[in-house]
Each structure stands twice: as structure tokens, then as C-alpha cells.
A and B are shown apart, each in its own frame.
Chain A
Amino acid sequence: MSELITKSASELADLLADGQIKSVELTRAHLEQIQAVNPKVNAFLHVDADGALAAAADSDARRARGEVGSALDGIPIAIKDNFCTTGMPTTCGSRMLEGWVPPYDATAVQRLKEAGLVILGKTNMDEFAMGSSTETSAFGPSRNPWDLERVPGGSGGGSSAAVAACLTPLALGSDTGGSIRQPGAVTGTVGVKPTYGGVSRYGVVAMASSLDQPGPVTRTVLDSALLHEIIGGHDPMDSTSIAQSLPALADAAQRCDVRGLKVGVVKEFGGEGYEPDVEARFAEAVQWLQDGGAEVVEVSCPHFEYALAAYYLIMPAELSSNLARFDAVRYGLRLGDDGRNGMEAVTAITRGQGFGKEAKRRLIIGTYALSSGYHDQFYGSAQKVRTLVAGDFDRAFAQCDVLVSPTTPTVAFKLGERTGDPMAMYKADLCTIPSNLAGNASASFPIGLSAAGLPVGLQVIAPPMADDRCYQVGGFIEAKVESDTGPLLAKAAPIVGSKAVW
């Protein structure tokens, strides 16, 4: 049993700094928890125990010499399986890349290594990040630590489940339409989608390039801020990386003060399709902000109702182009190369058998939306809606510092509940998609539980490069939840075999 694995990364960093614990001991405690709990939650696709223990020993040696690499030197972390990692497979949850080991590290991974973090392994995800439940992973779904019969969200459900079940204090995710925030909301964890261009996409396997954004997945707001400060900032290897420094995120996370902040409640995010418990927890969180001295106003973003439709054209169009690189030549699977089949046939056979059903759906939608005769009607119109959604944000941010909404319309749904109904699955990202279209900063923070005891998240949206405002609100909300009831994750029924002690 371990009290170490329930602590936040910032608390653990203090213990390491004081010499009360060693990184090797901390890493071993997490590896033991992975061994005990991963068979039940399927959060990790690959665990690099030897590499992690060696990195931890290096960290301890550095610290003994007085050469600490960063605030999080020696802290374990898990990485979503669409980040390229040397020495570890990167499958993107797909048979297409099963066993593939990249020849280079993603910039975010490189920065973690330079900062001295200890990489435990790679986490499960929907195939090429296409999904909201991890059920499209070729390697089986991950499960929600709050209820093993429910989904941990997606696409980054491996990272959210790993953090929620204390298999790791920190994880990396990537968010194209909600893949960091929605898993955060349904597992009672913190997930931040930074401003587009705020964290480098170099080495993150591309899904929809104009929407993808890597970011932190953690149990506390300060931990996300600390991790964001390590992975974020300009990268010359990503031509869409913003060449300016990040705001002071960890400071904002610790401010715990929202006096004078203008908070806009987006009125379109509510009503039909929203569970009463989600709306009730959301209303309470808004009241906390008001009681804390924030000025709350209602704002209207009338084009948000078209955001989901625009997203399900723009994203498939981009991914159908990006996934063309899986042609059975340079990496991954090759099938049907029998000496008689030509290149085109081998590519088609490999893709037909290597991609799962949801990938096929989206590849065909994207191909349709881009095809001659339909391009203007579908892809062109979707790009116009993107302009209208961004305009709604501009008008809202002219009156407000941040916008808030529920992160998801419902709490975690059951495994299998939506796999036969793609539109129902897509609606899990109804509230998170507009921020990807506009490229602003957006985060999900736990605010409480439904009557059935499942987590509910608050989404906080800030203008581009004002990510600090998300952390400021998140830190305030977290302090309120903790002072009222203690850490939310301590309320989850323990998983049999778990070593976590709260």
C-alpha cells in the first residue's frame, strides 16, 4: 500500500527536494500500482519498467550532485501513444503501427527528458485519436476507474484512467476535439488544451493538423501548470508554434482568487441532451465563482450549434490527407505483398485490414467532403462556419475574461452504449469542439459528482495565449472542492488490488 502514489506531482517534488524520498522509490511505487491495476483498467499499452528505473536512478544521481533539471525532475509520467518516443513503441492504438518504434522523440517528449521526468510508458487511445471512449483502440478499451463498466473518455482515455487510478501522477494527452478535456471530465481529473501553437506538435502523429494540440493530464491544477510550462513554448520544428513566451501558469494556478474576473456563461451549452446532474453541478460551480467575487454574465454564441457539424467535416478532411502516409512503405503494417499485387493493391489491402471501423468511416467522410463537386458544399461551408464560431468567441471575449460551460453533456457512459451510433458518440464533444475550431485555450476541472457518484467537469475557455486565466479559475475551483469535501478522487470506490491510500 502506498500514500506516495496519491500525492500530486508538486507535493512529490517537494519530498524529493527535501530528500525524504528518492525517485527510484517513487517510480517503483508507480510500477507496482501499474502491475496491480493495469490489467483491470487497460490504461497502459506499453510499460518501460527498466527504462523508467534507469531514468529515476539518473535523477537521484543528478540531485545528489545538486544538478536538478526542473521542478519536476524525478517525477513519473505517462505518454499518450501518439507521441513519438525513441526506444518505445508508438502504435496510436492501431494495428497499422503495431510494434513500430519511432526514430526520434516528439519535442514534448524531448523536453520531458531534458527536464528529468521519468517516462513510465505509453497510454491507450482511440485509434489515431478517433473517438470519445477508447473503444476504437485496436488493443481493447480502457476502463473508467470510477466504474469499470464505463468509458474513461477518449481519445485520451488511457492517460485519464492512468492518472485517475494513480498509476502515474502526470500524463501527456492531445486534444483535437476534446480528447484531453472530455476524458478529464468523466474521470474527475484535470485536462488542459493549451492555445493552438502553445505546445509543439512536432512528433505527435497528426490527426487533423489545424486542430491538434498536445497538453497536460493530471490530478491537480498546479501539476498541469507545471507540466505545461515544461512542454510548452516556441519550437522551431513546428511551423505553427507561437514564437512568444508562455504566461506564468503555475503562479496563476496558485492565485486562488477570481475577484473582478468577468465570467461568461455560454447559454447555448445546456438544455436538451444535458443531464440534470451535470447542469446542477455546473450551476453550483458558477455560483462559487460569483461568491468568490467574479462577475458572471450570460453570453450567446449562436453559431456554436453548427460547430459539431463543421468539425465532422474539417477533421475527417484533414485526417484523410494525413493518414495517406500509411501506405505500407515507410513504417508499420504491409499486407498482400505476394509478388503479384502491385503497389496500389498492397496499399489498399493493408489499409483495409489495418484500419478499424471508425477510421474507415472518417476516411470516407473526409474523401467525400474533399471530392470534386462536394468540396464547396461541405468542406468550404465548414470553413465558413469556423469563421462564424471564431467570431462568436471574439464577441464573447470582448465582454468576458473567460467563458464557462459543462465540459461534457453527460457523465461517463457505459462501454458499448454508443459504439453502434456514431452521432451519439460524436456528441460527447459538443462543448469542447468550438475551442479547437477557434484555437483558444480551454481546460476541464472536476467540480463534483452526479447522484450516481460519477464525476462532472467544468470547462473554462480563455482567449489565445491567455491560458493563465484557465489555471486561475481552475485553481480557485479546486480549492473550493477540496475545502468542502477533500480530493474528489478519494471518493472513488477503490479498485480491487489497488495500492492507493488517500
Chain B
Amino acid sequence: MALSAEDVARLAALARLDLTNAECAELAPELDVILTSVAAVGEVAGPDVPLMTHALPLVNVMRDDEVRPSLPREVVLAGAPDVEEGRFRVPQILSED
């Protein structure tokens, strides 16, 4: 398989993780060992085996569509890294290009 530092950098970008080149180079061989080891799942996962996606058979749980009080705005915003005019403040989301 041989995962390269460039592969790690590409995956890190997908995961929104800003890693240094040194981190990518260090992680590549470690992750390669892990991925080579976990690839063993392919040995027994034949085409006729169904997928198990959850520990329980899942069912949709519905409740009555009634208005209920939610958390007060100031309580929710109290843990935010930045707040402006009673809202979460975010950095710009669109770039110029």
C-alpha cells in the first residue's frame, strides 16, 4: 500500500486538519502500518455477507410536532469562541477568487 506524506497531506486537507510537512512525514509510515493491518477485514468479507451498520436494528423515532422551549440564546452563545450581535461570528466564508 505504502501511504506517502503527500497522501497524508491530501487526506488531512479533506479532514480540515492543517498539518505541517514534518507531521505528514511522521504520520505516513504509522498510518501505513495501521491500514495494512486493518486491511485484513477483506479476507472474510465475502460478497454474500450483509452489512451491519449499527449495534441495534434502527427505527425512526418520532415525537409529536409540538413547540417546546429551547435553550436560551445567551446560554448557547456563552461557549462560542466569538459572538457578534447575539449570533455566532464566523470568519469570511467566501474568498475573492
A residues adjacent to B (C-beta < 8 A): 100-104, 196-197, 210-211, 236, 239-240, 242, 303, 306, 309-310, 312-313, 320, 324, 327-334, 337, 341-349, 351-353, 355, 360-361, 363-368, 371, 377-378, 380-388, 390, 422-423, 426, 436-439
Contacts and interface: CB of A to CB of B under 8 A. Distances in A.
A329 B88 contact: yes
Contact of B93 (A240, A342, A366, A378): A342
Contacts of A329: 80-81, 88, 90
Contact of A387 (B37, B50, B76, B80): B50
A148 B37 CA distance: 32
A100 B43 contact: no
Interface of B: 8, 11-19, 23, 27, 30-31, 33-35, 37-46, 49-56, 58, 60-61, 63, 71, 75-76, 78-82, 88, 90-95
A327 B17 CA distance: 10
A117 B41 CA distance: 44
A348 to B, nearest CB: 4
Contact of B63 (A100, A236, A378, A423): A236
Nearest to A351: B17
7 contacts: A103-B76, A210-B54, A328-B81, A330-B79, A352-B17, A360-B23, A439-B56
Given A102-B79, A342-B93, A306 B40 contact: yes
Contacts of A242: 56
Given A361-B31, A387-B52, A371 B37 contact: no
A103 B75 CA distance: 6
Contact of A371 (B8, B11, B40): B11
A368 B35 contact: yes
Nearest to A302: B44
Given A341-B91, A351-B16, 18 more contacts: A100-B79, A104-B71, A197-B56, A240-B54, A309-B39, A331-B80, A342-B95, A343-B92, A348-B18, A351-B18, A361-B31, A364-B11, A364-B15, A367-B11, A367-B15, A380-B45, A380-B51, A426-B34
Nearest to A333: B81
Chain A CB within 10 Å — which of B19, B31, B81 has the most? B81
B91 A346 contact: yes
Contacts of A239: 58, 60-61
B81 A386 contact: no
A101 B78 contact: yes
Nearest to A438: B55
B77 to A, nearest CB: 9
Chain A CB within 10 Å — which of B41, B52, B95 has the most? B41
A371 to B, nearest CB: 7
A345 B78 CA distance: 24
A330 B87 CA distance: 10
Closest 5 pairs between A and B when the two form their complex, measured CB to CB: A439-B55, A352-B18, A334-B81, A381-B45, A384-B45
Given A365-B34, A385-B45, A360 B17 contact: yes
Contacts of B61: 236, 239
Contact of B17 (A342, A355, A380): A355
B44 A385 contact: yes
B41 A306 contact: yes
Contacts of A355: 17
Given A103-B79, A329-B88, A349 B18 contact: yes
A364 B56 contact: no
